């Protein structure tokens, strides 16, 4: 059975995390920002799985299950907010959220 070196797993996780980070920074649509956050969470999960596999510890798998739970909660709350935002403002532009501040003075 061949094993994948930890360096390769960490490089893959870093690339995925960077792609997700660029998506969060560059996108204006909140749905794409939410998807980019999911990519970032999965990148950290890949890193935990790879490290746990190399060190023969179950900690990486446990952390990945925690990340999956966090991602599921994030998606549920995020999609509920996006549906409400789409229903009220008819768009998902992040700049619309600045109008939610209300009057400051």
Q: Please, which pLDDT band fits residue 99 given cuts at 50, 70 and 90? A: confident
Across 86-99, average pLDDT: 82
Measured distance CA(75)–CA(72) in Å, rounded: 5
Other Cβ atoms less than 10 A from the Cβ of 1: the count is 2
| pLDDT for res 92 | 85
32 has pLDDT over 80: yes
Measured distance CA(62)–CA(72) in Å, rounded: 15
């Amino acid at each position: 059975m061949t094993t994948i070196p930890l360096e390769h797993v960490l490089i893959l996780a870093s690339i995925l995390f960077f792609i997700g980070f660029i998506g969060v920074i560059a996108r204006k649509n909140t749905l794409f920002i939410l998807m980019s956050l999911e990519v970032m969470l999965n990148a950290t999960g890949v890193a935990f799985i790879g490290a746990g596999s190399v060190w023969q510890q179950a900690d990486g798998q446990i952390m990945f299950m925690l990340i999956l739970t966090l991602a599921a909660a994030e998606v549920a709350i995020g999609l509920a907010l996006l549906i409400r935002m789409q229903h009220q403002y008819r768009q998902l532009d992040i700049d619309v959220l600045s109008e939610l501040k209300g009057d400051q003075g």
